[in-house]
Amino acid sequence: MVYQELVNYIQSQIGKGLYKNAIKNQLVQKGWKETDIRDGFLQVIPKDEYDKVNIYSLDPLPTKESKTSVLRKYFITILMFLSWFFVVLSIIYFVELFLRG
């Protein structure tokens, strides 16, 4: 069973930049079961990433991104591209106006 308290704790510790082994050691010292810790991690990071990351790794843990977060990033990127596109078009237009007039 995954406890929301455990998941929140893991998320906050990852947010602080702690590594998997440090978080796991803290939780074991607090009395959490290894299976609960693993289930908690799997709620925060993708399973394939969890299995790839060694428990003693110094690599930061990748976190799951919600679909809305990913879509928001794409939307902002497209919006920024379009903004720059229109800025460049405006500059070209005014340069042509200046050169003709």
The rounded distance, in Å, linking the Cα atoms of 61 and 47 is 11
24: helix, coil or strand?
helix
Is 78 a member of any domain? yes
Whether the model clears a pTM of 0.95, i.e. scores above it, the answer is no
Is 59 part of a structural domain of the chain?
Answer: no
Q: Do 48 and 18 sit in the same domain of this protein?
A: yes
Rounded CA-CA distance 76/80 in Å is: 6
- 10-residue mean pLDDT profile of the chain (101 residues): values are 84 84 89 90 78 54 65 91 95 92 72
CA–CA separation, 64 and 40 (whole Å): 13
The token pair that represents 78 in the structure block: 């497209």
pLDDT given for residue 100 in this prediction: 87
Number of domains composing the chain:
2
Token duo for residue 101: 């007039």
Name residues whose C-beta falls within 8 Å of residue 65's C-beta, 6 or more positions apart in sequence: none
Is 60 contained in some domain?
no
Burial of 34 by CB count in 10 Å (0-12 exposed, 13-18 middle, 19+ buried)?
Answer: exposed
